[in-house]
Structure 1
Amino acid sequence: MAAATLIALLLAGCSMGAGESTSPSVGIPAEVAPAPGEAAQDQAVEDAAGGDAGSESLVPDRSVITTGRVSITVDDPVASAEDAADLVEQSGGRVDSRTETPGTDTQQPSAQLVLRIPSDELDRVVDQLRELGTVTSVSMNASDVTQQRQDVEARIDALGASVDRLQQLLSTATSITDLIAIESELTTRQAELDSLTQQRDLLVDQVDFSTVTVDLVTEAVAPDPRPDDFWSGVVAGWAALTAFASSLGVAFGVMLPWILALLVIAAIAAVIIVLATRGRRRTPTLPEQEPRA
């Protein structure tokens, strides 16, 4: 009964000053105004949670998450990817991922970067990226998360005040039953507070740093046209014959060391066989002795 009374008093105290109903997931009001004597403790809890925007007054007027994609045709995608990374790092941003594909006989070289650019530097950096080559496509998308961020901030404030009051009750608990009940509730509220703080930090990072995916490619090489007359057919046939002769020469060059090695082994085996045959022919045969009477 004592533990139940303490929890009821706690929830009643947290509900004072909040005109809205409690949140179903947390079980406390969405906004709680701390008591005058608890303002310093609430501020300390918010600083420990890593947040510098503990009240709605510190939240920017609008919180916008910007994402985009830019496709650029360049001469050397790998070198241009290095230049793009340098531009972003100079602006205070970072490269979240980077993929480079060198050119082969069957595919063109390409590169892809996922850039995190400071929101206030986005336009300037995109303009600098355009100078790397010929821009083929640009798409930008802005998502307003102001309401979501304000809701998270308000829930962090409420949970911070609730955790602070639980800590005060914990310091004044006089029985084991009360102590266990308060510690259990404090652990639950602290876990919820940490989760909301992580959500807030993720939102802040997405708002402060825009995400732009940059695709760097080269111009596609047009295939050789098919022959459409006699002379073009002769030229195509001669080119095919030359390519075949070149491939045959390469294959013969690769096999030549193996052929020489096999010839040496065969010569050694032939010498051994010849010597063994001559040795058998030179061995004299003894006459058979007649039996004595």
Structure 2
Amino acid sequence: MRTSRLLSTIPALALAALLLSGCAAAGTQESASDSGGMPGLGAPEAPAVGEADGGSGGNLASQVSDDNRAVITVGTLYLTVEAPSEAASDAVAIVEAAGGRVDGRQEFAPRTFGDATDAGGAELVLRIPADRLTATLEKLKALGELEELQLSSTDVTREVQDIDARATALRSSITRLLALQDAAVTVDDLIDLESAISQRQAELESLESQQRYYADQVGLSTLTLTLGSEEVAPVDEPDTFLTGLLAGWQALVTFGSALLVIVGVLLPWLAALGLIGVIVLVIVRAIVRRYQAGERAAAVGGGGETGA
């Protein structure tokens, strides 16, 4: 009986030992990835993330290995155009022809500034393929007069490869746990394996979400394009005698126009105040004359009484 019981426990012990060794190896590999122990930036032996699932993880390993960098580029572009609405449509066509897309579009109706009315405006959020950014920018700048262009880049190569390495380690761990699950003979073993697999699957889905985010940000640069009319264009600083003379003349014309506007606003008030002043003056003069006439009449009456 003892021999038979001993023989019956041998498979269970072997399975437990295999489970412990597999989990320990997976934990060691994942700990190394979490603590920054990942392949070098140019390591050719690093496995490509997404091969096990048909490339559904948005992996950037091939892109990083080509130029050894993963860069996120964002920027702003301000153009002065004659017709902002038409220029916005042209900008959309240029970006879509380059393989990009429009993530946001906002147009503004014409606005009145004093006696002038502008042609409106537009603001676009453009996503342009990173490898076609320069050529697309040249086409966009040709739509109008360049007022401002700003571009900034952020290198995320280390973050990308860290996520790739951690995702690869998790996939390997899940594969081993699935193999152990097929060989499990007890309910407790199945429960433990399913719990471990579920935890790793959740971590893997989170990493794959980050991979898709970085793939989108690195693959497509973000450009905010603002289109304004000539009426609201920034004023160029004069740098020559001719431009200074022109700026002075425009300032004089602007001042004269503003002065005429002020005079036009004040003229009705001045006319009304003048009319009121005239009426008050007439009344005061009438009162003074009546008062003087009364004094003269009193003086004449007093003189007659004295003579009598």
TM-score exceeds 0.5: yes
Corresponding residue number in structure 1 for 2:25: 13
Identity across the alignment (%):
34
Deviation at 1:20, TM superposition (A): 7.0
The corresponding residue for 2:258 is 226
Q: Please give the alpha-carbon distance, in whole angstroms, between the structure 1 residues aligned to 2:137 and 2:219.
A: 16
**Superposition deviation, residue 142 in structure 1:** 0.6
The alpha-carbon deviation at position 90 of structure 1 amounts to 0.4
AA aligned to 1:175 is: T
Q: Could you tell me which residue of structure 2 aligns to residue 120 of structure 1?
A: 131
Task: Work out whether 1:79 is the aligned partner of 2:90.
Answer: no
Q: Report the AA paired with residue 102 of structure 2.
A: V
Deviations 1:219-255 (A, max 9, x none): 23679823369xx9579969xxxxxxxxxxxxxxxxx
2:104 counterpart residue number: 97
In 2, are the aligned partners of 1:119 and 1:210 still within 8 Å (CA)?
A: yes
Match of 2:177 in 1: 166
**Secondary structure of the residue that 2:112 maps to in structure 1?**
coil
- Quick one: which amino acid aligns to residue 73 of structure 2? T
Matching of residues 1-293 of structure 1 within 5 Å: 8-14=20-26, 21=32, 23=34, 45-47=52-54, 49-51=56-58, 58=65, 60-105=67-112, 108=118, 109-220=120-231, 225-227=257-259, 233=263
Partners of 1:66 and 1:143 within 8 A in 2:
yes
Partners of 2:19 and 2:180 within 8 A in 1: no
**Separation in 2 of the partners of 1:130 and 1:46?**
42
Counterpart CA distance in 2 for 1:62 and 1:89 is 26
In structure 2, distance between residues paired with 1:234 and 1:44: 77
Distance in 2 between residues matched to 1:129 and 1:145, nearest whole Å: 27
Name the SS for the 1:143 alignment partner.
Answer: strand
SS, match of residue 69 in structure 2: coil
Cα distance in 1 for residues equivalent to 2:264 and 2:32: 88
Aligned length: 223
| Segment drifting more, 53-62 vs 107-116 | 53-62
- 2-structure distance, mates of 1:160, 1:214: 41
Normalising by the residue count of structure 2, what TM-score does the alignment of the two structures yield?
0.62
Alpha-carbon spacing, 1:54–1:158, altered in 2? closer, same or farther (3 Å): farther
Query: Following the alignment from structure 1 to structure 2, what is the Cα–Cα distance between the partners of residues 117 and 46?
Result: 28
The change in CA–CA distance for 1:171 and 1:78 in structure 2 (over 3 A counts) is: same
TM-score normalized by structure 1?
0.65
Give yes or no for contact 1:6–1:178 (8 Å, CA) kept in 2: no
In the superposition, relative to structure 1, how do residues 46 and 65 fare at CA in structure 2: closer, same or farther (>3 Å)?
A: same
What stretches of structure 1 of length at least 5 have no aligned partner?
32-38, 239-293
CA distance in 2, matches of 1:7, 1:59: 39
In structure 2, the CA distance between the partners of 1:54 and 1:6, relative to structure 1 (3 Å rule), is farther
Asked whether the equivalents of residues 72 and 130 of structure 1 are also in contact (C-alpha less than 8 Å), the reply is yes
Tell me which amino acid in the other structure corresponds to 1:128.
K
How big is the alpha-carbon RMSD for the aligned residues of Structure 1 and Structure 2? 3.6
Whether the 8 Å contact between 1:88 and 1:94 is mirrored in structure 2 is: yes
Residue identity opposite 2:105 in structure 1: R
- Report the AA paired with residue 50 of structure 1: G
| 1:70-119 deviation line (CA, Å, top 9, x unaligned) | 00011111111000000000000000100011113367411000000011
Contact 2:75 2:151 in 1 (8 A): yes
For the structure 1 residues 183 and 74, does the alpha-carbon distance in structure 2 shift closer, same or farther, using more than 3 Å as the test? same
User: Residue 217 and residue 201 in structure 1: after superposition, are their counterparts in 2 closer, same or farther (change >3 A)?
Assistant: same
